[in-house]
A and B are shown apart, each in its own frame.
Chain A
């Protein structure tokens, strides 16, 4: 059974950074892309970027280049995303997802709520 377990909610100050994690089990971690998706309150879904755990290759939505950094720890089957220079616009739920051979977002984590507030 595929499971993507994300780190808990974070309350952070404007200007700070936040790093969140996504631990994958029951799935071949190094075989498929891991993507991150943003959902602002009551809004739709935005793709941030993706990383391939096998070689660390990344692709980004231009909107999030320089804003988000994606890394992986293959030994721990865990992907990470760091979001920097936080503003209120970054308050959102962030989901990690994994692709399959046929679709980009086959499996989803439960989400990490990030609240940016002073």
Chain B
């Protein structure tokens, strides 16, 4: 199985930039496609798709969210962080079944 590793927590100030990383145990890229996706989960809610294929903003997601990366290293950036962004963020790969998620990064206020 492809293992995705994320830092467990990140403390940020409102209005600042937050950078969340995800490292895969093997490449999740095929040709021009980077098969890594990002989800936001607020407390008591279901996950919500933010970014698909590493850098594409999902429908209705504000432009302060962005994604980058390829191969085994990926980044989700929130800039600037707003109060609604305090949540847990998960990366997920669709390169190889079983589809796997990272352990999640909890974004907290500094």
Q: Is B a genuine binding partner of A?
A: yes
Chain A residues close to B by CB (< 8 Å):
35, 44-47, 59, 61-63, 95, 102-111
A45–B97 alpha-carbon span in the complex (Å): 15
| Interface residue B64 (Cβ < 8 Å from any Cβ of A) | no
Would you give 26 A-B contacts (Cβ < 8 Å), ordered by A?
A: A35-B99, A44-B90, A44-B101, A44-B102, A44-B104, A45-B90, A45-B92, A47-B100, A59-B97, A63-B98, A102-B52, A102-B56, A103-B37, A103-B49, A103-B58, A104-B37, A104-B92, A104-B94, A104-B99, A105-B39, A105-B47, A105-B99, A106-B49, A106-B52, A108-B48, A111-B46
Q: Is the CB of A105 within 8 A of B97?
A: no
Q: In the complex, how many angstroms separate the beta carbon of A45 from the nearest chain B beta carbon?
A: 4
- When distances are taken between beta carbons in the complex, the residues of chain B under 8 Å from A35 are 99
Chain A residues whose CB sits within 8 angstroms of the CB of B39 once the complex forms: 105
Q: How many residues of B contact A (CB 8 A)?
A: 21
Say whether B49 contacts A105, CB under 8 Å: yes
In this complex, what residue of B is CB-closest to A64? B98
Does A47 lie within 8 Å of B47, measured CB to CB?
Answer: no
| Cβ of B34 to closest chain A Cβ, rounded Å | 12
Alpha-carbon distance between A103 and B35 when the two chains are bound, in angstroms: 8
Residues of B within 8 A of A111 (CB): 46
Given A102-B52, A103-B52, A103-B53 in contact, is the A108-B99 Cβ separation under 8 Å? no
- Closest partner residue, chain B, to A103 (CB atom): B52
Counting from the closest, the 9 A-B pairs by CB-CB distance are A103-B52, A61-B98, A108-B46, A45-B101, A47-B99, A104-B94, A44-B103, A44-B104, A103-B37
CB pair B37 A105 closer than 8 Å: yes
